[in-house]
Structure 1
Amino acid sequence: MRIHLSSVFVDDQDKALRFYTEVLGFVKKTEVPLGEDRWLTVVSPEDPDGTELVLEPAGHPAVGPYREALMRDGIPVTSFAVDDVHAEYERLRALGVRFVQEPVEMGNVTVAVLDDTCGNLLQIARAA
């Protein structure tokens, strides 16, 4: 068994696609129209056949309270692995990304938390 798909709920799929591709560096894998929304996935360019991240429309009534609680409590919805958290932090800050937590070392793990501009906090992490 392996993880095939994971989802993040986003306010605006077009805005999310731009952020996740142009800023974070993922590449679009799938785009299928589904009425007003789309089945829209991105993948790491380092693993194009790996886990797909679904940029899921946030229209379901349960999504709003869930995301508001996570944002209020500063809890990232997911975590992305990077080779160097400090370097990625600087790269993303130079692109205008807002971080809610600068890089922090916790034992053998370094993490930072950013706002994806689409209603979510994301963590970048590197295990030593």
Structure 2
Amino acid sequence: MIRIAMTSVYVDDEEKAHAFYTDVLGFETRTNLDLGGARFITVAAPGQDVELLLEPGDSPVAEQYRRGLREAELPCLVLGVDALRTEYERLSGLGVRFTQPPMEHGPVLTAVLDDTVGNLVQLTQPLGRGPVR
């Protein structure tokens, strides 16, 4: 069986990204290694196996990719939540900037936030299961 073990997101600043994804979004640190000038940092949602690599985004390919996504207003990452409106209020209270407030899109409720390190991140909650707060 093949499964997703790790995926990555390009970031402007690895330490700032680490703080945002752990302190604000509530992920836990899985790996934080100094590789001599660069860091290898992974985070994950508590209780989940899939890790998110906070990848340095300073290469020309990464910069072009991120710029293209931002210009198209596309999120680089989609995160699932059980109660999107509750998370929206919590994160807004922490100063997180949303580029899209909670909106219904067919079978899902979505919101889009700025992760402070160059990316848009979509939060999504399937409608019809779990509380729609």
User: What is the TM-score of this pair, normalised by structure 1?
Assistant: 0.95
Q: Secondary structure at the match of 1:118?
A: coil
Q: Provide the residue aligned with 1:63 in structure 2.
A: 62
**How many residue pairs end up in the alignment?**
126
- Output the CA distance in 1 between the equivalents of 2:53 and 2:100: 25
Q: Which residue type is aligned with residue 2 of structure 1?
A: R
Q: Provide the residue aligned with 1:100 in structure 2.
A: 99
Kindly state the Cα deviation for residue 106 of structure 1 after the two structures are TM-superposed.
1.0
Q: Provide the residue aligned with 1:45 in structure 2.
A: 46
Q: Secondary structure at the match of 1:62?
A: helix
User: What is the TM-score of this pair, normalised by structure 2?
Assistant: 0.92
Question: Does residue 20 of the first structure (1) align with residue 21 of the second (2)?
Answer: yes
Kindly state the Cα deviation for residue 61 of structure 1 after the two structures are TM-superposed.
1.1
Kindly state the Cα deviation for residue 23 of structure 1 after the two structures are TM-superposed.
0.4
Q: Which residue type is aligned with residue 60 of structure 2?
A: P
Shift >3 Å, 4+ stretches: none
Q: Provide the residue aligned with 2:110 in structure 1.
A: 111
| Percent identity for Structure 1 against Structure 2 | 48
Residue pairs, 1:56-95, within 5 angstroms: 56-95=55-94
Kindly state the Cα deviation for residue 38 of structure 1 after the two structures are TM-superposed.
1.0
- Output the CA distance in 1 between the equivalents of 2:68 and 2:107: 28
**Deviation per residue, 1:24-45 (Å, 9 max, x gap):** 0001000121221111000111
- Output the CA distance in 2 between the equivalents of 1:69 and 1:35: 30
- Output the CA distance in 1 between the equivalents of 2:43 and 2:77: 14
Structure 2: segments with no counterpart, 5+ residues: 128-133
